[in-house]
Amino acid sequence: MRTPVIAGNWKLFKTIGEAIGLVKDLKPLVAGTKGVEIIVAPVFTALGRVADELAGSNILLAAQDCYWEEEGAFTGEVAPGMLKDAGCSHVIIGHSERRQYFGETDVTVNKKVKAAINAGLTAIVCVGETLAEREADKTFAIIETQLWGGLEGLAPEAFSKVVVAYEPVWAIGTGKTASDTQAQEVHAFIRSLIARCFSQESAAGLRILYGGSVKPDNIKELMAQPDIDGALVGGASLNSASFAAITNFAG
Ligand code: PEP
């Protein structure tokens, strides 16, 4: 009942030309993929051109961040409505790299999520614990704080425009994937938390993605878990063949 989502986060990689080349290669490889929402998230400067290239395909477009104001004297920022204007349907919010290097907090995540939804975008909200937090048995507490802080004040209906990505920080770009059991445990916890804090319906329909060194050879096992509804993929999304193999996990 929950359509799986496979989203590629290209981070700070690919010029406009390279981004277009990647989607040109990707389109035929995923054209036959049914029942999976496929998303790519290039850098801001490539969004408009990639949107043109994606027109008529089964690949959706996301930005990697946004600001929470619609317009104004906020040099360097990009508003959710402007992302929509550029062709985006989704925006990644609260990625651990933004939390780690750019001062993103649960408060700013919350403002961005609300602004994104108001602009008609779907927010892919990232949460995840560091290795030190996991080793100190704080995983659930951290996830609860980040989720509660990031989603506070949302109406249950808003959850149709929210996707949560559980990305253990220690698994991002490290080649270390959380085991299926570790990931499932946190995903089930996230779903139960949403049921408790918002509504049973919001929780049942919520897509919860796993992120952290997802590759063609581990996606199948992850997707076999009952509460894992897809993946947010970094490194392996930069190559059309490996990203297509991940989107074709069921084949
Ligand atoms: C990410 O960037 O969200 C990510 C999960 O990266 P990687 O797949 O490279 O670990």
pLDDT per position as a tens digit, 203-243: 999 999 999 999 999 999 999 999 999 999 999 999 999 99
Looking at residue 166, its pLDDT comes to: 98
172 lines ligand 1 (CB under 6 A): yes
What confidence tens digit (pLDDT) does each residue in 187-198 have? 999 999 999 999
pLDDT in tens, 43-89: 999 999 999 999 999 999 999 999 999 999 999 999 999 999 999 99
Mean per-residue pLDDT over the chain, rounded: 97
Residue nearest to atom 2 of ligand 1 (CA): 234
Q: Which pLDDT belongs to residue 250?
A: 86
Q: What distance in angstroms lies between residue 246's CA and the mean position of ligand 1's atoms? A: 13
Residue 94 is predicted with a pLDDT of 98
DSSP character for 178? P
pLDDT at 1 over 90: no
Residue of 95, 97, 104, 129 with catalytic role: 95
Whether 186 and 225 have beta carbons less than 8 Å apart is answered as no
Taken in order 62, 66, 68, 71, the sign of the CA dihedral is negative
Catalytic residue check, 95: yes
Whose C-alpha lies nearest to ligand 1, atom 4? 234
Lookup: tokens for 124: 């892919």
Cα(234) to centroid of ligand 1, in Å?
Answer: 3
- Spatial distance between the Cα atoms of 8 and 23, rounded to a whole number of angstroms: 11
Dist CA 249 CA 211 (whole Å): 15
Tokens 């490996």 belong to: 242
**In one letter, which amino acid is 32?**
G
State residue 213's pLDDT score. 93
167 carries an active-site annotation: yes
Q: First vs last Cα of the chain: how many Å apart?
A: 19
In this structure, the residue with its CA closest to atom 1 of ligand 1 is: 234
**Nearest-angstrom CA–CA distance, 166 and 193:** 13
| pLDDT (0 to 100) of residue 123 | 98
- CA of 214 from ligand 1 middle (Å) equals 7
Q: Could you tell me the distance, in angstroms and rounded to a whole number, from the CA of residue 71 to the centre of ligand 1?
A: 30
Over the stretch 86-96, which tens digit does the pLDDT of each residue have?
Answer: 999 999 999 99
Q: Is the full-model pTM beyond 0.75?
A: yes
pLDDT for position 144: 98
Report the C-alpha gap between 166 and 189 in whole angstroms: 11
Verify whether ligand 1 is closer than 6 Å to residue 213 (CB atom).
yes
Q: 232 CB less than 6 Å from ligand 1?
A: yes
What separation in Å is there between the alpha carbon of 231 and the centre of ligand 1? Answer: 9
Ligand 1: atom nearest CA of 171 is 10
pLDDT over 90 for what percent of the chain?
Answer: 96
233 lines ligand 1 (CB under 6 A): yes
Which of 141, 137, 157 lies closest to 149, judged by CA? 141
User: What is d(CA 223, CA 209) in angstroms, rounded to the nearest whole number?
Assistant: 9
What's the pLDDT score for residue 177? 84
